Amino acid sequence: MEKIAVFGTGYVGLVTGACFVNAGHNVTCVDIDETKIERLKKGECPIVEKDLPVRIEKGVQSGNLSFTTNASLAVKNCKVIFIAVGTPTKKGSEEADLSAVFAVARTIQENADSSKIVIQKSTVPVGTGDEVEEILNSQIKSGEDRFFHVVVSNPEFLKEGRAIHDFEYPDRVVIGTNDKEAQRVMRKIYVPFMRTSDRMIFMSRPSAELTKVVANTMLAMRISAMNAITPLAEKFGADVTEVRRGIGTDSRIGTAFLFPGGATFGGSCFPKDVRALIAIMEESGMDAGIFKEVMEINHEQRMRFIGKILNYFEKGDITGKKIAVWGLSFKPGTDDVREAASFDVIRTILEKGGTVSVFDEHAKEIFRNEFGNVKGIEYCDDQYVTTKDADALVILTDAMEFRLLDLERLKKAMNKLVIFDGKNLHDPEEMSKEGAHYICMGRPFFNPKS
Ligand code: UDX
């Protein structure tokens, strides 16, 4: 068992802490947000993440998971310290805001009374590990016989909604450090998750930092490549879903992350990491063209989808029309709405004079907080209630409850059966047979049978 401190109780910090405790370690989670810490102490989970609430409850009951705002005590008590605080993109810039990471580094530096292994889990630009190590060791004067703190990069590859599973059954654990003692300790803390095979990959710290942004950029590139193909498929009457199956069965390509759609990728990681890679390359005087294109395609595809919604109505006039919107989060199984397609879609409909009636199983309240209770938006607790007297339905996530439609109910509720499917969930021909005007991306359109 290792005594571990985790700074930051967001998605990454909480999942990391809860999974380490479940594997037999002792974890202290630290945050500056007192209200959040009080809720966590009571066993309450502040985010929607499958299996996390039970892990937290079990951890607190066992006495091996604790929550505190007392950073100094946590630093003194633990040799292993994870930094998992937020690194949001700075407003009006492409750069990540690293102030929280540096603040934790200073806290460790000020309170440590022995040498620490500090593990950087927050996504940061390449080279940040060097800066953190510099802050941590800033009081050491040359020649002074004092402890030295080591910084390890250990990026997370957790998908929201499946984060516990991804942590406990990782494809790989990337450890960026050349320090032998740090490597030994990292192996020890991750060994419970390596029972089937050793999937720990040791590398230098910059390589690990780069691995994280490149992994997410590669996945985002696949999605953008598929999105870029959708107008071509539409032009030639091809179906991108068939193309996806055709190429995904090539074992060199594989099936994952090839789903195109009008509700293009969002979340806290893909947009941020691709932008971060572009920023580092440009700062270094390199051409990031290929990666810039990934973001541009993502934006253009979303706009093309919104264009299809508007253009359905005569002269693009959506004034007075009621649009039902299903799915507010950036993907199902989470309440995270960061960079979700819902913002662009809903904002445009409202700006053009339409109204919206929205549903999301988990993200309604968070979306309401972000977007506000503005005029023209109605928040519903039932997905079908949104469709009453609606002129169209827009689907924005591939949540399980959107994959089969109660068409009879929709026909009765809606003014006309018009569906814009941002995730290509349904069969266009089948939908037309049901009398639906069904529009998605990169698939043929069939006139609705009356
Ligand atoms: C991602 C990475 O998968 C994870 O490894 C990393 O550490 C954090 O970022 P996450 O942001 O939780 O995880 O979401 P993910 O499931 O990867 O989806 C990202 C976005 O891409 C979502 O908006 C999703 O709807 C979209 N997506 C995904 C597609 O549009 N098409 C696909 O084929 C797959």
List pLDDT tens digits, range 313-328: 998 899 999 999 999 9
Closest CA to 386 of 346, 425, 413, 353: 413
pLDDT of residue 372: 86
| pLDDT tens readout for residues 63-86 | 999 999 999 999 999 999 999 999
Give pLDDT, residue 190.
Answer: 98
159 alpha carbon – ligand 1 mean position (Å): 7
Centre of ligand 1 from the C-alpha of residue 442, in Å: 20
Phi and psi angles of residue 175, each rounded to the nearest 5 degrees, phi first: -120, 115
398 lines ligand 1 (CB under 6 A): no
pLDDT of residue 54: 95
Long-range own/partner contacts, residues 169-173 (CB < 8 A, 24 or more apart): 169/193, 170/199, 171/199, 172/199, 172/200, 172/201, 173/199, 173/200, 173/201
pLDDT at 146 exceeding the cut of 80? no
* Number of C-beta neighbours around residue 139 at 10 A: 11
CA distance 311 to 413: 23
Lowest-confidence region among 169-173, 206-210, 275-279: 275-279
The residue type at 395: I
pLDDT of residue 141: 55
Give the residue, by CA position, lying nearest to ligand 1 atom 13.
159
The H or E element spanning position 140 is none
Ligand 1 test: best mutation among 328, 331, 335, most atoms within 8 Å of CB? 331
161 Cβ contact list (under 8 Å, min separation 6): 49, 50, 331, 332, 333, 334
- The strand order across the sheet containing 80-83 reads 65-68, 26-30, 3-7, 80-83, 117-120, 150-153, 173-176, 200-203
Nearest ligand 1 atom, CA 339:
23
pTM exceeds cut of 0.75: yes
Q: Give pLDDT tens digits for 111-128.
A: 998 999 999 999 888 899
Region 283-288: mean pLDDT is 95
- Ligand 1 mutation target, pool 11, 121, 124, 265, most atoms within 8 A of CB: 265
At 268, the pLDDT band (50, 70, 90 cuts) reads confident
Q: Is the CB of 159 under 6 A from ligand 1?
A: yes
Q: Return the CA Rg of the chain.
A: 24
Average pLDDT over residues 235-245: 97
Cβ burial, residue 252 (10 Å; 0-12/13-18/19+): exposed
- The string of DSSP letters for 395-412 reads E-S--GGGSS--HHHHHH
Q: Is the pLDDT of residue 297 over 60?
A: yes
Residue 186's CB is within 10 A of a number of other CB atoms, namely: 23
pLDDT band at residue 169 under the 50/70/90 scheme:
very high
User: CB of 7 closer than 6 A to ligand 1?
Assistant: no
Q: Helix, strand, coil proportions of the chain in percent (round to 5)? A: 45, 15, 40
Tell me what the mean pLDDT of segment 236-247 comes to. Answer: 97
Residue 234 beta carbon below 6 angstroms from any ligand 1 atom = no
Active centre residues (catalytic): 269
pLDDT value at residue 142:
55
Q: What is the pLDDT averaged over residues 146-158?
A: 91
| pLDDT of res. 148 | 86
Residue 227 has pLDDT above 70, yes or no: yes
Q: Are 49 and 15 in contact (CB under 8 A)?
A: yes
Alpha carbon dihedral 313, 318, 322, 327, in 10-degree steps, equals 90
Give the C-alpha distances (Å, rounded to integers) separating 271 from 14, 227, 278, 292, 302.
22, 15, 11, 11, 14
Cα–Cα dist 415/126, whole Å: 53
Element (H, E) at 385: none
Q: Kindly state if the Cβ of 344 falls inside 6 Å of ligand 1.
A: no
For the segment 193-211, the average pLDDT, to the nearest whole number, is: 96
Alpha-carbon span 338 to 342, nearest angstrom: 10
pLDDT of residue 138: 87
For the chain, the average pLDDT equals: 94
Cα of 257 from ligand 1 centre, angstroms: 8
Task: Name the percent of the chain lying above pLDDT 90.
Answer: 89
Q: What does the pLDDT average to over 126-152?
A: 82
299 pLDDT exceeds 80? Answer: yes
Task: Say if ligand 1 is within 6 A of residue 160 CB.
Answer: yes
Q: Is 269 in the pocket of ligand 1 (CB under 6 A)?
A: yes
Whole-number pLDDT of residue 140: 60
- The arithmetic mean of pLDDT across residues 329-350, rounded, is 96
Q: Identify the structural domains of the chain with CATH numbers, from first to last.
A: 3-203 (3.40.50.720), 218-439 (3.40.50.720)
Confidence (pLDDT) at 25: 97
Position 143 pLDDT exceeds 60: no
End-to-end C-alpha distance for the chain, whole angstroms: 67
pLDDT at residue 125 in the model: 87
Given this model, what pLDDT does residue 145 score? 54
Q: Would the pLDDT of 144 be above 60?
A: no
48, pLDDT greater than 60:
yes
